[in-house]
């Protein structure tokens, strides 16, 4: 196992859910962090709390990751504060339930711009730092929905399948620079994720012993602490009772 103590990580979607759990785990293990999300007040409070409770530096940037200018500004803040970037956790993501005969271009764009274009853009900026370092790790949070098709979640599935294809391609591009790429594919996790959900989905989720955000944080920690010669390319994690 490699320690992440003293390493530097960017975590997107760190204001709640899985991203928050990853931020807490990484800070406890001694990593210095940059947190990104839209909820500035939450990020500010969280940064103060993580610095107070752990011997680490935590900065944050308010950014809408569907907006390329916000992504560039956030990365500038990162570069002014840190010289190296060891780990990028591309976690921010949304899903909007709708059948394909409904929906609208604006709705599809919201999901695609965040889950795919934003993730690609932040990866592009990050690898420009990682390549000269000859070191780095990109962890992309996809989903079970990146492995199967699910009625009502077609656009979400398209983005998560896209994340898998993107990750596997850049893994091949970047291995010569000693940069690892991992995809984590959670099943149902108890968070606020999922908009427009049909009632039966909400009931199903609440009745199931779903995963906790901390379970996924442990998985992210597992992949980034493997020895240098071990690259965990893909990790699919479901609640024991989840069939899909």
Ligand X SMILES: NC(=O)c1ccc[n+]([C@@H]2O[C@H](COP(=O)([O-])OP(=O)(O)OC[C@H]3O[C@@H](n4cnc5c(N)ncnc54)[C@H](OP(=O)(O)O)[C@@H]3O)[C@@H](O)[C@H]2O)c1
Our finding on whether 91 is near ligand X (CB under 6 A) is yes
Q: Which of 28, 39, 231, 242 binds ligand X (CB under 6 A)?
A: 39
In whole angstroms, what is the distance from residue 219 CA to residue 242 CA?
Answer: 18
Q: Which of 189, 219, 223, 224 binds ligand X (CB under 6 A)?
A: 189
Retrieve residue 212's tokens.
């906790």
Q: In what order do the strands lie in the sheet with 87-90?
A: 58-62, 32-37, 8-12, 87-90, 136-141, 179-186, 234-237
Our finding on whether 94 is near ligand X (CB under 6 A) is yes
Catalytic residue at 221?
no
Q: Give Cα 27 distance to the centre of its chain.
A: 16
Stretch that binds ligand X, among 36-44, 51-59, 81-89, 220-228 (CB under 6 A): 36-44
Q: Which is nearer to ligand X, 39 or 73 (CB)?
A: 39
Three-class SS state of 59 = strand
Our finding on whether 193 is near ligand X (CB under 6 A) is yes
The burial of 236, by beta-carbon neighbours within 10 Å (0-12 exposed, 13-18 middle, 19 or more buried), is given as middle
In whole angstroms, what is the distance from residue 115 CA to residue 94 CA?
Answer: 7
Our finding on whether 92 is near ligand X (CB under 6 A) is yes
Our finding on whether 37 is near ligand X (CB under 6 A) is yes
Stretch that binds ligand X, among 10-18, 51-59, 76-84, 219-227 (CB under 6 A): 10-18
Number of residues counted as binding ligand X (CB under 6 A): 28
In whole angstroms, what is the distance from residue 231 CA to residue 226 CA?
Answer: 7
Question: At 107, which helix (H) or strand (E)?
Answer: helix 105-112
Our finding on whether 139 is near ligand X (CB under 6 A) is no
In whole angstroms, what is the distance from residue 6 CA to residue 74 CA?
Answer: 21
Q: Which of 31, 56, 112, 114 binds ligand X (CB under 6 A)?
A: 114
Q: Which is nearer to ligand X, 133 or 166 (CB)?
A: 166
In whole angstroms, what is the distance from residue 52 CA to residue 227 CA?
Answer: 30
Q: Which is nearer to ligand X, 39 or 133 (CB)?
A: 39
Given 60, 99, 156, 177, which residue is catalytic? 156
Q: Which of 8, 9, 10, 17 binds ligand X (CB under 6 A)?
A: 17
Binding site for ligand X (CB under 6 A): 13-19, 37-39, 63-66, 91-95, 114, 141, 143, 186, 188-189, 191-193
* Active site members: 156
């Amino acid at each position: 196992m490699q320690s992440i103590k003293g390493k530097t990580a960017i975590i997107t979607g760190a204001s709640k859910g899985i991203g928050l759990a990853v931020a807490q785990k990484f800070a406890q293990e001694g990593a210095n962090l940059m947190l990104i999300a839209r909820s500035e007040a939450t990020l500010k409070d969280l940064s103060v709390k993580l610095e107070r409770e752990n011997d680490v530096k935590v900065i944050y940037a308010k950014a809408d990751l569907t907006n390329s200018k916000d992504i560039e500004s956030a990365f500038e803040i990162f570069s002014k504060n840190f010289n190296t970037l060891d780990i990028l956790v591309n976690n921010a993501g949304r899903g909007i339930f709708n059948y394909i005969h409904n929906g609208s271009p604006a709705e599809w764009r919201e999901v695609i711009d965040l889950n795919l274009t934003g993730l690609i853009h932040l990866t592009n900026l990050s690898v420009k730092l990682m390549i000269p370092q000859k070191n780095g790790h990109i962890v992309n949070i996809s989903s079970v929905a990146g492995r199967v098709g699910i009625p009502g979640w077609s656009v979400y599935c398209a983005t998560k399948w896209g994340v898998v294809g993107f990750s596997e391609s850049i893994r091949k591009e970047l291995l010569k620079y000693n940069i690892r790429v991992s995809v984590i594919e959670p099943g149902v996790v108890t968070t606020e994720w999922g908009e427009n959900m049909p009632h039966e989905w909400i009931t199903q989720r609440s009745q199931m012993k779903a995963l906790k955000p901390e379970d996924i944080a442990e998985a992210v920690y597992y992949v980034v602490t493997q020895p240098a010669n071990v690259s965990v390319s893909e990790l699919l994690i479901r609640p024991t009772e989840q069939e899909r």
